[in-house]
Amino acid sequence: MVIVGDATGAQIPKLDISLRLINYADVQNEDDIPQGPYPQQVVDEANEDLELFCDVLRDESVTVLRPDASWEPRYYHYCPRDGVLVHDDLILSTPQPLRARRTEYHALESILNQYGKMTVARCSQVDALYNTACLGDPDVLALNETEPCFDAANILRDNDNLYYLVSNSGNRVGAEYLQELCPTKKVWPIEDVYAYMHLDSTISLLREGLMLLNPSRIKSLDQLPKPLQSWNYIWCPDPGEVYHYPGYCNSSKWINVNLLMINPNLAAIESNQHALRAELEKHNIDCAMIQARHQRTLGGGFHCVTLDLKRQHD
């Protein structure tokens, strides 16, 4: 059972300190940052591609749910992975760094309420939380440590382990807070690996004991949390051509690492990623090659645009 995002209403909100520092710390000139609704072509094509993806999931007997469209996004509903962490009994609306995303979880609430009680973590998002020294300097992170703050997509789930990327979209005290919330789990902070956003384009957990690693960010297994150091791994091959709409780009070319395992032997990957397919097939993972024209434009691969709630083997 999985929630699949929706590009309808996607927009880039008015520039504030949170958006400037979290999404665009590497952009020098503010005038290069677009604003307002994404071009209609982007929204339409992204939605068309999401429909195809939903069809593939349904063909694999996956129940597909969609965000509640009556909640108009102030940012978007394209990436349900970003704001809510679902793991065992935990349903956590995380204390997100972007002000415009503060209420996004409401679009998922009616679905999630059927699975249990959602904990809504608040974040004040006051100016003092953000560190302007990060502009242009990936060695300085965008968030101060004044209060817990993180996107759910900074985390990967592995049974009783939660891997947590410390980056512009997740601070250290956020990892401590998550540990307090989940006393039966072990939270493993990952530092100095990727300064910008989220963990799921750096590491992808393919199945128990096998992971895909982004070679531009992981240089040595020592950078990984202990439990992952004994896993088998695949270095992600150089990505095939990934287009983005001119002037709009919300992710690196490594968005292909951000795949979704539909089941332990089937991955959803972007249709141009032939080298990745060949690697995965060597490990008996078949690939559903699915068109996703705006993965980079909107900053969401198949992992980001989904939130899996229940897997058959759970």
Q: Give the binding site for ligand DAV (CB under 6 A).
A: 153, 197-198, 200-201, 251-252, 254-255, 258, 299, 304
* Nearer to ligand DAV among residue 125 and residue 204 (C-beta): 204
* Nearer to ligand DAV among residue 95 and residue 299 (C-beta): 299
* Nearer to ligand DAV among residue 94 and residue 201 (C-beta): 201
Shortest CB 257 distance to ligand DAV, Å: 7
* Nearer to ligand DAV among residue 70 and residue 142 (C-beta): 142
Shortest CB 304 distance to ligand DAV, Å: 4
Shortest CB 203 distance to ligand DAV, Å: 11
Chain-centroid distance of CA 306 in Å reads: 9
Catalytic residues: 151, 198, 304
Shortest CB 60 distance to ligand DAV, Å: 23
Question: Nearest 10 degrees: CA dihedral of 264, 267, 273, 279?
Answer: 10
- Who contacts 313 (Cβ-Cβ below 8 Å, separation ≥6)? none
Shortest CB 294 distance to ligand DAV, Å: 13
- State the Cα–Cα distance between residues 35 and 122, nearest whole angstrom: 26
* Nearer to ligand DAV among residue 23 and residue 265 (C-beta): 23
- The residue sitting closest to ligand DAV, measured at its beta carbon, is 201
Give DSSP secondary structure letters for the chain.
Answer: -EEE-B-TT-EEPPP-HHHHHHTTTT-S-GGGS--EEPPHHHHHHHHHHHHHHHHHHHHTT--EE---TTS--SS-BS-TTTTEEEETTEEEE---S-GGGTTTTHHHHHHHTTTSPPEE------GGGB-GGGTT-TTS-SB-SSS--B-GGGEEEETTEEEEE-BTTB-HHHHHHHHHH-TTSEEEEE-SS-SSS-STTTEEEEETTEEEE-TTT---GGGS-HHHHTSEEEEPPPPPP----TT---S-GGGGG--EEEETTEEEEETT-HHHHHHHHHTT-EEEEE--TTHHHHT--TTTTEEE---TT-
Name 210's bridge partners: 207, 232
* Nearer to ligand DAV among residue 177 and residue 194 (C-beta): 194
Shortest CB 101 distance to ligand DAV, Å: 13
